[in-house]
Amino acid sequence: MSSAATVHQWHLANGWAGIGYHYLIRKDGTIERGRPRDTVGAHCYGENWHSIGVNIVGNFEVAMPTDAQLDAAERLVARLCQMYGLRPGSRTIKGHRDFNATACPGQNLYDMLPDVIAGVGEIMAFHYRWFSHDEELTDEFGVRHSRALLDKKKEPAQPTKYARGEIASMIVALAAFCYGFWTGIAPFILFGAAFLIYEVRRIMPAVFGPVGVPIANVMRGFSIVTLFGAVLLLFL
């Protein structure tokens, strides 16, 4: 039966820096560590830099994962979601074939992925309901969790703080905008507006939550167009 040590030797033979997965789940449900979590994996071409690779041992084009493997996968992924502040779903828990042209993880396991995701959600909901608010427990993966920690992850981010230099620059931009508005010099108005809009857009996600992200993107595009307009007026 494949183990993390065996896969490590296989991947070394491929010329890689050891096992490409961060975790491996054996047939009996044993979870073995591969690469450290803070190390970029080699499990999904083009997506390694922002993902954690979990290998469930087996050929799931012809076989089915064991109940022990599915249970271990749900527990492991639930802990990873807690650790990284992720909400379990089809956007955060994916199969290899979602990114690359491959049969991995096998059709039988891939078809069960929605059930795995649902199981992960149930585990996370269980931890939230039954742990006392201030009680902190450390699980077998070394992850601390409590209702207080989960609540903290749900709190909206605080507005971005600006450095003194950025505040000074914004004051100068505001002065330029006011001067241009007072004197009717259009480039001053546009330069000041472009800089102010670009800086203020940073706090939109913190102020408005998820809705603030598209608002910030629109503000960034508008500020760039405004800057180009100021440059054109300056040289016309």
Least confident of 57-61, 82-86, 160-164, 189-193: 160-164
The phi, psi pair for 16, rounded to 5°, reads -85, 170
Domains in the chain: boundaries: 4-154, 164-235
User: In this structure, which topology does domain 4-154 adopt according to CATH?
Assistant: Lysozyme-like (3.40.80)
**Residue 113 CB-density burial (10 A; 0-12 exposed, 13-18 middle, 19+ buried):** middle
- pLDDT at position 107 is 93
Q: Is residue 137's pLDDT more than 70?
A: no
> Averaged over 226-236, what is the pLDDT?
80
Give the relative orientation of helices 186-200 and 164-183 as an angle to the nearest 10 degrees. 150
**Residue 163 CB-density burial (10 A; 0-12 exposed, 13-18 middle, 19+ buried):** exposed
Sequence-ordered list of residues with C-beta below 8 angstroms from that of 26, at least 6 positions apart, any chain: 1, 2, 3, 32, 57, 69
Position with higher pLDDT, 145 vs 217: 217
- pLDDT at position 134 is 52
- pLDDT at position 162 is 60
pLDDT tens for residues 145-196? 555 555 554 444 444 556 666 677 778 878 888 887 788 888 888 888 888 8
Position with higher pLDDT, 91 vs 144: 91
- pLDDT at position 83 is 81
| Cis peptide leading into residue 114 (ω within 30°) | no
